[in-house]
Structure 1
Amino acid sequence: MEIALTLEALKALAPDYQVLKAGQDLASQGQWRALGQDEQALWGECQGSALYRVCVDKLSLRTFCTCPSRKIPCKHSIGLLYLKLLSADRLPASPAPQWVEVWLKRRTAASRPVGTQQSAGAEQAGPARTEARQQERQQRSYRRQQRMLQGLERFDLWLTDVLRTGLADLQGETLRQWEREAAALDDAQIPGLASRLRSLTTVPYSRPDWPEFLLRQLGRLALLSEAFRHLGRLDPGLQEDVRQALGLSLQADELLTRGERVRDRWLFLGQRLEQRDQLWQQRTWLLGERTGRQALLVQYSPAGRTPMFAERYPLGCQQEAELIFWPSAYPQRARLLEYVSPATALSSSPGAASFAAFLETVAAALARQPWLERFLCVLSEATPICLDEGQLWYLRDQDGQALPLSRGQHWQLLALSGGHPLTFIGEWDGDELFPLAVISPGTGFHALFSIERYLLQLR
């Protein structure tokens, strides 16, 4: 089993530039010994301030190192991957040492579905105890639903007042009232609606058409509140969408039982980081080569410190894997269950031929699930356009139609295109495209979003 990684993929795996640079330096130094590989893993020992054992799972690219670093992957793990990329002959095929086998066995045990373990434990506990737990869960669910209905009743009254008084003077004390209403929704255990309302407090005076945009978003919140009141009338998939949009998330065992499993050759196309409320949110976009389905992998990390996530995904690569999708009228969010084959470099990606075709798929998705916020946009033959000396940026398709790019500077995108068409990969939020990556005919895949640059801009 051969692993085919690119420099772009390794950049995406490294938690920051310092780790990336230190890993590159380690790969070029003679500090390694006992190097080897087999079908499952790469391994070696690196001499630093102490002798550290390093191992990488070829399928998932998860790493193990005995060093004390809190950054995962650490510089030794990145160094081993660089060594494989640049000097594969230094890692001969050989039987895995015992410590590698022990780590792989522990990883296999840890990756067993949580729901399976819980079901087995429930069976051992006996039917009486299981029934008592189910009743307790139902009672908790009923109490929370009543609290949510009371919170939504208050929210509807407040929203009616907002629409009656108008949107002409949204600043100062008025916006502080919006924050207090969001806090009341948190108290009513409706965090999803609270987060959506809180995000709207930044909209007033932020754009020329902000009243229309704000009114449209408030309408979606009103629709969400009304949908929860009439949940029983909705199709099962849309019922799940309403619950999740309000903040009623599925437990791990419920996801494994009710989610849709899809095996495909998945293209890891783009990644973005944003701060939402008190959390960092990382979004990774995948596209199924055979099914054509989009998948959104979401991870969270506490705000207030450098974001660290449990999973690292190989951007610019393709890999056979099994995903499980959250139940939905239009399944988009997914979790990666199992890697089936090693990652290989991505040289191309299927994409929409025009914006008309792309927006048609967006409209069809919103018709099924009206609270979707973002979509993966892969557009073939796209050309970036710069106007007013970099003040305005657009993306043009082969038919001459254009959509705006997000606010900011996009000189790297323009430089990679050289004024010629390329395959554009971005995130569409209904108003503008945020560039994530490109695939150019001559140089291949390039990630455009850098977590390191993004964090520097926030400082």
Structure 2
Amino acid sequence: MAKEGSWPERGAVAAPEGGTSAIWGECRGSGAKPYLAAVHLDGAGGTAYKCSCPSRKIPCKHALALFALWTQDQVALREDRPEWVATWLSGRASRQVRARASAPADPERAAATLREREESVGAGMDELRLWLRDQIDAGLAEVPRYGYGHWDRMAKRLVDAKAGGASSLVARLPGAARGDGWPERLLERLGLLHLLAVAHQAGDALGERTRAAARARVGITTRAEEVLAGGERVHDTWRVLGQRLTTAPEADMRSRRVWLRGSRTGRTALSLSFSRTGQAPDTPFRVGTDVTAEFAFYPDGHRIVPAGEGDTATADPPAGGTVTDALDAFAEAAAEDPWLDTWPVVIDQAAPAHGDRWYLADPDGTALPLNTAQPWRLLAVTGGHPATVAAEWSPGEGLAPIAVWDRNGKAVSL
């Protein structure tokens, strides 16, 4: 496998102090898509490997073959690199920054460290505002000719400023500058980044949840232990609306989002868990059940940490609404978190409809586009008839069904 012909795309990333910090490549396999492999050579936690192949061995044969090619001087330094490489390296840098700040020696030192980080993040976000202004002043016409170095310099500066979340958002900008409609898409992302920088500067002048959302997007995280110790506690019977499992090959990570709704409070809760690619993230919740329990909420008001054991019982289908109700619910949530990219909605008597693409329509005929061209599982459960459907709504992607209740009231995960 360590042959040049097996790696039509490969390259090395230069280290700031000289030499090579990482190598990456796309290896031809038996399938239509190549395996994406990378090796991080100068990480604080030692050499790290990633690959999109299903092997559980670390490093896998693809990473070893890439390493062998590099030792034979067959992997040259390149300024450009795919988005998945930039995102993976940015994510590793962010985790290393968090790891270095996770073990304070004493309260006074912890307070001093926090002040230092706040000052560093503030300086980084000020630089981001100036950089964004430069992008708009220069115009977007030359963007397709920019190399990855144009974006990486700002992303790396934000990592240095301990703003890993903002760095990841900048690292994704090259992906927005491709395909049809890229100027509008890129301008929207630049605008959201500017809004994030302004929101961080506003600080306590913002509402509590908006401020918490901005800090989380910048990369200032709150640990689960802190949430359990001082977070808002809400006891209710929580109906499990659905779950969605997503994979980020560039970060070697899988995530599971489970959405719940309080029967008494109407509060939306998000249980978020992670695992490495190839493993399933844990979750204590099952679609189609009610969980009577107390949750501790993160400062953003949505993500939760269970505060103890709960009682689980089979539940009826959740109360749903129209498409207009769904959009109103998203707008209300986005008013507190303008960077929100997905939100759970429940539509009653919803039926699949097909025109130029697939839609989900309510009894009034109002419809939202589905984010898939093949909703066969939804069609198989409903037979095309109206049903209660829970879904995630993302304005840029469409509606992603996550659960449906059949005519017998049984929940089926999608």
TM-score (norm 1): 0.62
The 3-state SS of whatever aligns with 1:426 is strand
Q: 1:239 to 1:287 in 2, by over 3 A?
A: same
CA distance in 1, matches of 2:409, 2:239: 18
SS at match of 1:269: strand
- Write the letter of the residue equivalent to 2:355: L
- Which of residues 126, 143, 157 in structure 1 aligns to 2:130? 157
Say yes or no: does 1:413 pair with 2:382. no
Q: How does 1:59-458 map to 2 (within 5 A)?
A: 133-171=106-144, 173-206=146-179, 208-276=180-248, 278=251, 279-302=253-276, 305-328=277-300, 331-341=301-311, 343-352=312-321, 354-387=322-355, 392-431=357-396, 432-442=398-408, 444-448=410-414
- Larger radius of gyration between Structure 1 and Structure 2: 1
Q: Which has the higher contact order (CA 8 A, sep 6+)?
A: 1
State the identity as a percent.
34
CA offset digits 1:398-450 (Å, max 9, x no partner)? 111111111341122122222211111111122311111111223621111xx
Q: Is the 8 A contact 2:144 2:178 kept in 1?
A: no
**Superposed CA offset, 1:74-115 (max 9, x none):** xxxxxxxxxxxxxxxxxxxxxxxxxxxxxxxxxxxxxxxxxx
Deviations 1:9-56 (A, max 9, x none): xxxxxxxxxxxxxxxxxxxxxxxxxxxxxxxxxxxxxxxxxxxxxxxx
User: Separation in 2 of the partners of 1:440 and 1:172?
Assistant: 51
Which amino acid counterpart does residue 348 of structure 1 have in structure 2? P
The answer on whether the counterparts of 1:190 and 1:246 sit within 8 Å (CA) in structure 2 is yes
Q: Which runs of 4+ in 1 moved over 6 A?
A: none
Q: Give distance in 2, aligned partners of 1:176 and 1:438.
A: 45
Residues 153, 251 of structure 1: CA spacing in aligned structure 2 closer, same or farther, 3 A cutoff? Answer: same
- The answer to which structure has the higher helix fraction is 1
CA distance in 1: counterparts of 2:333 and 2:245, whole angstroms: 24
Report the AA paired with residue 434 of structure 1. Answer: A
2-structure distance, mates of 1:176, 1:418? 51
SS in 1 for 2:144: coil
> For the residues of structure 2 that align with 1:271 and 1:172, how far apart are their CA atoms?
40
TM-score (norm 2): 0.69
Secondary structure of 1:171 counterpart: helix
Q: Root-mean-square deviation (CA), in Å? A: 2.4
Distance 2:361 2:182 in 1: 25
Q: Judging changes above 3 Å, is the alpha-carbon distance between structure 1 residues 180 and 438 closer, same or farther for their aligned structure 2 residues?
A: farther
Amino acid at match of 1:438: V
Q: 1:329-354 deviations in whole A, cap 9, x for unaligned?
A: xx11112222331x2233311112x1
* Contact 1:269–1:286 under 8 Å retained in 2: yes
Unaligned runs of 5+ in 1: 1-69, 71-129, 449-459
Structure 2: gaps of 5 or more residues: 1-55, 57-103
Aligned equivalents of 1:187, 1:408: Cα separation in 2:
41
Measured in 2, the distance between the counterparts of 1:288 and 1:327 equals 18
1-side partners of 2:187 and 2:122: how far apart?
23
- Given the superposition, is the C-alpha separation of residues 280 and 186 from structure 1 closer, same or farther in structure 2, using an over 3 Å criterion? farther
